[in-house]
Structure formats: C-alpha cells, structure tokens
Chain A
Amino acid sequence: MHPVRQQRLTLVLFVAVFSSVAIGLVIYALRGNIHLFYPPADVVAGKAPAGQSIRVGGMVVKGSVQRAEDSLAVTFKLTDFHSTVPVVYTGILPDLFGEDQGAVASGVLTTDGVLEATEILAKHDENYMPPEVADALENSGYDYQGKAK
C-alpha cells in the first residue's frame, strides 16, 4: 500500500476510535442531564414522574407568591388555566419573575404533587414568553390572561 494511503487509513481508524469514545461519553453524560418539560395539566394528571428532575412552566397565579418571614423560602403556583401546580423554592427569584407572568421552574416533583424547584427561569423582556409556556397555554386553550380562546 502507498505509504500516504496507509497513513490515511491509520488516521481514519484513529478518528473513528476517538469519536466512538466521545460518543460514549456524550451518551453517558446525557443520560442524567435531560430535563423533560411538562405543562401543569400533565403534572396534575400524573403524567410526570416523581423523584426525577423535570421542568414545569406556566403563568404564576395572582396572589400565590408567599415568602417566609425568616428564611429565603418562597412558594407560588404555576397554572395553564386548566390545572395548577404548587412550587416551593429557596433562594433569590429572578428580577422579571412576577405574578401573572410566565415562568419555568426546574426541580423534582414530590409524591404529593409539589414541585421542589432548584431553578426558576422568568421571561427576559416584556414581549417575550418562554416557548414552552406559550405551547402549554396553546394546548390548554387559554390565552395568557386566562381567557378561553
């Protein structure tokens, strides 16, 4: 075989082995780090698994945000105007988080249907709605003000 060809073959083999290792690494890393999104309707219907990291998004129910007096714990409810999921979270909420606004919470669902959130994402400007929330509202048949479409 031509030496250049031989070298090219070795090269291809090397790249193939290296990329398989990389793909293995990717699949391994991906396994524990995929967070599925559920609209509140699915969570209440029991379609979301408990004890596993998921994301839930919807509108924050007016009057539901309550801060504890002595710690950074906060509770609120997320709704798609069809069903409502209670969320507990400890820490600082994003600036644009607010009642009657869209938000996405990621965390673990307890067996009694409360989402223990580790991260809260809110919208980033007035005209922007997280696409998942927009979809969840679309499917529930209500607009973001809770009016039936």
Chain B
Amino acid sequence: MIPELGHFALIIALCLALLLALVPAWGTWRGNSVAMALAPSLAIGLLVFVGISFSCLSAAFLQDDFSVKLVASHSNSLLPPIYKFSAVWGNHEGSLMLWVLILSLWTAAVALFSSQLPLLVLSRVLSVMGAIGVGFLSFTLFTSNPFARLLPGAPADGSDLNPLLQDPGLIIHPPLLYMGYVGFSVAFSFAIAALLGGRLDASWARWSRPWTNIAWAFLTLGIMLGSWWAYYELGWGGWWFWDPVENASFMPWLAGTALIHSLAATEKRGLFKSWTVLLAIFAFSLSLLGTFLVRSGVLTSVHAFATDPSRGMFILVFLAVVVGGSLTLYAFRAPAVSSRVSFAWVSRESLLLCNNVVFLVATLTVLFGTLFPLIVDALGLGKVSVGPPYFNAVFVPLMALLVPFMSLGPVSRWKRDAVSRWGRELAIPAAVAVLCGVTLPLLHAPYNVWVALAVLLSSWLVLGLARDFWQRLRSGSDPVQGLSRLTPGYCGMLIAHLGFAACVTGIVATSQYAVEHDLKMSPGESRVLAGYEFRFVELAQVRGPNFVADEARFEVTRDGVFVAALHPQKRRYLASGSVMTEAAIDAGLFRDLFVAMGEPVGSSGAWAIRLHYKPLVRWMWLGAILMAVGAFTAVLDKRYRRQREVVHSSHEAALRGA
C-alpha cells in the first residue's frame, strides 16, 4: 500500500509542478497578480508531495518490502538500518528521487526566503524552477519508476546494496553533491527570469549571489567527500582519477567558481551583466550534462548503473531543450541587459576577468577531455579514452597561472588602481613568499622543485591575504574596532582563498612526495617505507553484521616507537558474495599511512599488500572544507537581507504611487 501511496504522491507532485510552471508564467504575461501570488504556495505543495513520495520509498526500504523491485535489487534484510536508508539513493531510480526532492527543497526555499523579492520576479523564478521540476518528475515517472512492484513472485530476500556503497561517506556524498548540482538551478532560474523581464541590475546580482554561494559551497563539500571516499573506500589510495563522472561534478564547480566571481563584479559595479547570465546558464547546463553522463551509462565509470537507452535519450532531449531554449532566449534578450560601464585595465575588475577566463578555459578543457571519447565514438572513429595525464597537463598550468592574480585581488581597488600601489602593498609578502618557497620544502627530503613552486604560490596567496587583513585591522582606531568592521563577505573571501592555498599545497605535496608500494608480504614480515616500519603481525578472521573478512593486523613503528595499529580487511559480503577491500588508514595533519590488502599470493599464506605514505593529503580536503565555510560565511552578509527590505519598501511605494 505504501509504495502505491508514494507513486500517487509523485503523480500529484508532477501535476503541481506543471501548474507551477504554467500558472505564474501566465500571470506574469497577463499581469494577473492572483496567478502570480499562487507561485509560493504551489512551490511548497510540490515539496510536500515529493517529500511524501520520498518518505514512502524510504519506508519501503526500511521495512524490507522486497515486493518493490527497487528494494529487492538494492537492499537486504541483513543490511544495517542506516545503509537501508542510504540504499534509497544508491541506485538509478532512487537517486533521481533524491534529485527531485532536493530540487523541490530549493524551490520551496526560494519561495520562503524571497518573500521580499518583487512578486513579478519571484513568480518568474519559481515558474522556471517548476518547469525544471516537470522535466525531472516526468523523467522519473515515465522512464524510471522507483515504485514498480515484483508481483507475483516477490523474493524472500533482497540481493543487497553494492558493498562499495555501504559506507558512511556514501550516506552524505550524494545529497551534498545534489544540493550543489541542483542549487545551480536557482542561479539559472534567476538568470532566465532576468532575461524574460529584460531587467538586470545590481539588485538582481544581489538576489542571486547568496543562492549561488550556498549551491557552490554544497558542491564543494560533495566533491570533497567523493574524493575522500574514493581514497579510503576504493582501496587504491588515489583521490582523483579524472573519471568522467568526477569531471561531471567538477565542471559545474569550475563554471560556478567563475560565476560567483563575476556576480561580484555585476553586483558591485554593474559590469559583465550578460556574461554573468551566460555563466549561470552554462553552470546549470553542465549540471544537467553531468546527470546525463552519469545516468545514461555512455561512459565507463564507477558511478554507472545498469543502463537503459531510453533514459539517456530522455535526458539528452531535456538537455537540448534547456540549453537550446535558454541560449535562444539569451540571444534575443542579451542586448537589452548588456552594460556600458568602463574600467581601467589595472583594477579589480580586470583581476576578476582573469579569474573568469582561467576558470572558463579550465571548464572547457575538462569538458573537451570528457566528451572527446563520445565525439570520436559518434563519428565512428573507434573507441578511445583520454587518460589523466591529459587533464593534469592542461589543468595544472592553468591553476598555477591563476594564483599570482589571486593575491592581488583583495588588495586591489575597483575601477582604477596603480601598479606602483600594488608594488608597495605586496613587496614584503612577495619577498617572504620567495623565502618560504625556497626554505619550507627543505623540511622534507629530498628537495622537490614542484613542491617549492606550490609553496611559493600558496604562501604568496596567504601572505597577500594576511597583508590585506592587517591593513583593514589598522584602519579602525584599534584592532578590535577594525575587526568589527570586517564584513562577513570579506571574511568569507578570506577563508575560501586560504582554503584554496591549503588545497594547492596539499595536492602538490601528496602527488610529489607520496610513496606507494605494492608488495607480497607474509605474516611476520616487515617493510620500511619513508622511515616507517610496517610489520605484518598476523592474519585473522573476523565477522561483521553482513560480511566475513580476512583481517591483516599491522603494527607501524618509527625509530622503534609505536605509531599505529592498522587492520585492513578483505570482506566477503554474504548476500551478494562480492568481495571488498577495506583499507586501514592512520590519518594525520601532516601525513597519512595507508594499508590495503590485495589478494592471497602463492600457497604460503602471503598476501599482496599495498602500503602508502601520503604527506599533507588531508590539506586538500581541509582546504575544500574551508572554501565551503567561506562561501557559507559570505552569505551571512547583512546587505543581502537589508537590501531586500529596501527593495520591498520601494516596491510598495511604487505600488502605492501607482
């Protein structure tokens, strides 16, 4: 009964989404304010019914209702309850449900927290989001119904969740990632609404900035968790593979990074207006493209579920409609919103432009590398894959090009600045950065030029920020007053840029210094890796709730001092019989020690063992967390709320005047 209820709720949700897409849009066209005023209630109704539907699906999973096909093929009665719940989105149909749920969450959030927006703008934004909702709800209902039953002939037990997905990281990775992916739909809807209205000014940028920031922050966290999960769960110790699906989440992130920076210029100076709109369209289109790549199964990847060509076709058509439609609209309306503001070449605007060019080129190169195999295949020229060296060769120099400008950004002034002033401000940070770049890598032998370069760049960035921070503290009569004058927007920028510096340092240091060995080891043997002695003490058998495992017990010492006990496992899951590697990691701020079991080798009880030493690997994830924290902090800025009230009152005044 519950699954049918869920199915029914989903159908009602589709009807509500249709109404949301059509009624307010009709209202804005005919100037009917009653129709426009329906938009927020419809948005909340949409959330309620999608929520009911999602809860019904979760209930089916938690109650082990194996007569539902989805539950039977992705869950098992032995599964711990928390994984039964996360199994809801550990498959194609359920992950689409999550997509739709999060989309309706964002839609309802816009309806609730934008009551200060002019009704005309709000109803346009919500009807665009409703239209996106129609697309995804009909995709779910018509091609991937999660509530399909297996009647008669329901199995006694399910065939289990893929063991790779039975992990705490996977409980939160998809929701966070989708919050980001789908969150760009808000920026997209604001952009479309602006194009439809032909009105695009600083207040438009101010409305869409906090939403874009929040979406970007969630996407950052989602990507970070994915990378972290790959690191400890896939058992290879790698943290980024330039896998098509990783790229699919990374491209919207890159475009989104460009977007939040160009929004800054649009809000503060009224510049790059039509460009910002284009970026918003681009970022969301990349989110959709990502969904297509992941869900259509056209590419070999960890994330591809069993495929069905009709689904791929549906998303492809949807993508074409969204991209084609919005670009057509853009072509007609962009001239109406373009700006005529000038700025000098030496100014903050130019630096933001550099950011945009670099991030856009980075996005396009990643896009090209990801789609190249598809293009070649479509042309019938054979099946190719593009390896990680391509992405590294293109991406790393681009990022290195970016950092020198990043330090100038906060120090620089809008409109017009002077190179000589930059020189005065940043001479000391530059000198200290060179000093750091030369000396800090000495701490870790052997000396590595690439690490030195990374330290040089990131300390240049950090010191430039520190210099600017100090300057602002001194601008008050005393440091406390100076501190209280800092806006959340500024603090957010500071935190996020520090995070970027940490990320750069972490990535380069791990890539250059990591020691990775695959060895054959028997119990009792020991190996030395980067000064750490790994001793294989014994092999044991252990039993978990739904698996049995061989466990290798390792003891790590350094100069005779005990460091850590590591117990990697090789698990065999009972329901599916599949085998999984569970790596053991001793985590630290400055280095990780990683042990994973391969397979038994020979007849003497030896195993293939993977030993890794990874310095500063945590820095890149900490850096990503800082970036997200920075973006969240910036949203707290009072001006986003205050300005809305001003707009509200002026709007009311206008109404009264009329």
Contact = CB atoms under 8 A, between A and B. Distances in A.
Contacts of B576: 126
Interface stretch (B17-25, B300-308, B429-437): B300-308
Contacts of A29: 389-390, 393-394
Given A72-B520, A131-B298, A35 B385 contact: yes
A33 B391 CA distance: 9
Interface in B503-551: 518-520
A32 B602 CA distance: 37
Interface in A127-142: 127-128, 130-132, 135
B489 interface: no
Contacts of A124: 162, 164, 301-302, 304
B173 interface: no
Interface in A4-29: 4, 7, 11, 14-15, 18-19, 22, 25-26, 28-29
A126 B305 CA distance: 10
A104 B390 CA distance: 20
Contact of B357 (A18, A69, A121): A18
Contacts of A69: 601-603
Interface in B382-405: 382-387, 389-390, 393-394, 397-398
A72 B382 contact: no
Nearest to B600: A67
Contacts, number: 125
B138 interface: no
Given A3-B342, A15-B357, A132-B300, A92 B390 contact: no
A37 interface: yes
A30 B386 contact: yes
A71 B235 CA distance: 20
A91 interface: yes
A125 interface: yes
Nearest to B159: A126
A34 B384 contact: yes
Interface string A48-68: 000001010000000000011
Chain A interface main SS type: mixed
Interface string A77-109: 000000000000001110110000000101000
A70 interface: yes
Nearest to B361: A22
Contacts of B586: none
Interface in B364-393: 364-365, 368-369, 372, 382-387, 389-390, 393
A102 B159 CA distance: 20
A131 B298 CA distance: 7
A35 B384 contact: yes
Nearest to A39: B383
B497 interface: no
B610 A70 contact: no
Contacts of A135: 383
A37 B377 CA distance: 11
A94 B297 CA distance: 20
Given A30-B386, A96-B578, A124-B302, A91 B518 contact: yes
B59 interface: no
Contact of A25 (B301, B302, B397): B397
A70 B368 contact: no
A26 B368 contact: yes
Nearest to B395: A29
B632 to A, nearest CB: 32
A91 B182 CA distance: 40
Interface of B: 159, 162, 164, 235, 297-302, 304-307, 340-343, 353, 357, 361, 364-365, 368-369, 372, 382-387, 389-390, 393-394, 397-398, 518-520, 576, 578-581, 596, 598-599, 601-603, 608, 610
13 contacts: A11-B353, A18-B361, A30-B386, A34-B384, A34-B390, A37-B385, A67-B601, A67-B602, A95-B578, A131-B297, A131-B298, A131-B300, A132-B383
